[in-house]
Amino acid sequence: MTRPLDGIRVLDFTRVLAGPHAARMLCDLGAEVIKIEPPEGDLTRFGQPRLNSLATYFIQQNVGKLNMSLNLADARAVDIVRKLVAMSDVVIENFRPGVMQRLGLGYDTLAAQNERLIYASISGYGATGPWVDRRAYAPVVNAEVGLTKHQGDVRGGAYANDPFSHGDVYTGMEAAAGILAALVQRGRTGRGQYLDISMAETLLYVNEHAHDQLWEGEVPADWIRSFQPADYPVLTTRDGSIVVVSGHPASKTNFGWFCAAMERNDLLNDERFVDVPARLAHLADFHAILRAWAATITDAETIEKIFAEHNLATGRLRSVADVARTDWAKQRGVITEVSDRGGGTIRIPQSPWKFSDADVRIRGIPKYRGEDNTAVLRDLLGVDDATITQLAHDGVTSSHQPSDK
């Protein structure tokens, strides 16, 4: 079965998360992705857990890609890249703005030799503007664009970093979407183009509360602003199970459903809860009532049935390991196993798409740094064995595998 991006070649110069995730998406969709690492390797290669000289973090974002390791400070490595660009469709990079230009690998230079090239640059704050030179990592950008403040404000000012690098992952997804759109446009025009994707703009773009935070007008008192999911109940049943209930308990409709679920229609006439403003003012009281009631319910399955009968969705509090053991995850093939390069496997999430006429499951194995140097040079570029040996001797190419220790 074919893949949607069969025949597309991507040169992946990215490191850590945002760029590698974008390239991993394209790889799963069928593109041939050649990851080009510096001699020191991608930072995520050195994380834990780690097995057979491969970090599981690196594996999750880079499985299935070919791997070259080039010293781009050497003009011969730059020449290799330019030859690869001539036969490639996409370049992705997430260096600080200006680095690729200084290496002689900027968009204008490469597009001059391949007008069909799509070149995506991922950065913290974009390739232009007054913040162009700032260092940027997800927690820093989260703070700059209002995400950290909003998360802390809804928790009474308890500001803390997001434990997940959402800025990187969302930016990787938006980069992949932009690249796919550019490929479609190239099919009409025959020309590639440059994509400038910033983490900061991405986080504003995906912030579903941004419209509210930019609103300067009045909001009717009997409406919940922007749904406010941080106020949705988190309840513990008698056996210690924890469930999250979707729906703001102060809203016009949901309040009645919650009361009916608890068989507490007397609360409809309670002065604390007579309308939306009153319920918002006494939200802590209503949450306390919900928690006390939930503690009398036997288990998660029972409380889920009760809420479902009253139009309220629930979800059990689970770890990733917990959800991997569910019948849902097993039937859907949510978790897959990939080679650990030592005769065993490790588990990572499978790609989320299920196409009716394409195979988009994870393919291939995780590669060691520079493992495909010879294959790419010989098979794609036609470099002879003597030159390949000389390039390695001179440090233009390099590799590291467990046997190299």
Shortest CA distance to 20 belongs to which of 168, 207, 227, 222? Answer: 168
pLDDT at 301 over 90: yes
Contact 21, 352 (CB under 8 A): no
Contact 339, 345 (CB under 8 A): yes
What pLDDT score does 381 carry?
97
What pLDDT score does 387 carry?
97
Confidence of residue 133 (pLDDT cuts 50, 70, 90): very high
Those residues whose C-beta lies under 8 Å from the C-beta of residue 328, and which sit 6 or more positions away, are 334
pLDDT at 306 over 60: yes
Contact 288, 250 (CB under 8 A): no
Q: Which tokens belong to 378?
A: 């010989």
Contact 229, 315 (CB under 8 A): no
What pLDDT score does 334 carry?
96
* Residue range 231-255, pLDDT digits in tens: 999 999 999 999 999 999 999 899 9
Shortest CA distance to 11 belongs to which of 31, 33, 27? Answer: 33
- Share of residues in the chain with pLDDT > 90 (%): 89
User: In Å, how far are 43, 117, 361 from 138, measured between CA atoms?
Assistant: 15, 28, 28
What pLDDT score does 176 carry?
98
pLDDT at 308 over 90: yes
Those residues whose C-beta lies under 8 Å from the C-beta of residue 179, and which sit 6 or more positions away, are 22, 26, 90, 92, 118, 120, 195
pTM score, whole prediction: 0.93
Q: Which residues of 310-348 are buried (b: 16+ CB within 10 A; e: fewer)?
A: eebebebeeeeeeeeeeeebeeeeebeebbbbeeeebeb
pLDDT at 404 over 70: no
Confidence of residue 405 (pLDDT cuts 50, 70, 90): very low
pLDDT at 403 over 70: no
First to last CA, the chain: 40
pLDDT at 357 over 90: yes
Tell me the pLDDT of the chain averaged across its residues. 95
Class of domain 9-207+327-404 (CATH, top level): alpha beta
Length reported for the chain: 405
Shortest CA distance to 51 belongs to which of 344, 333, 369? Answer: 344
Q: Which residues of 44-80 are buried (b: 16+ CB within 10 A; e: fewer)?
A: bbeeeeeeebbbbbbbbbbbbbbbbbbbbeeeebbeb
Contact 9, 365 (CB under 8 A): no
Q: Which residues of 391-400 are buried (b: 16+ CB within 10 A; e: fewer)?
A: bbeeebbbbb
Cα separation, 273 vs 106, in Å, equals: 61
- Share of residues in the chain with pLDDT > 70 (%): 99
Domain segments of the chain as ranges = 9-207+327-404, 242-316
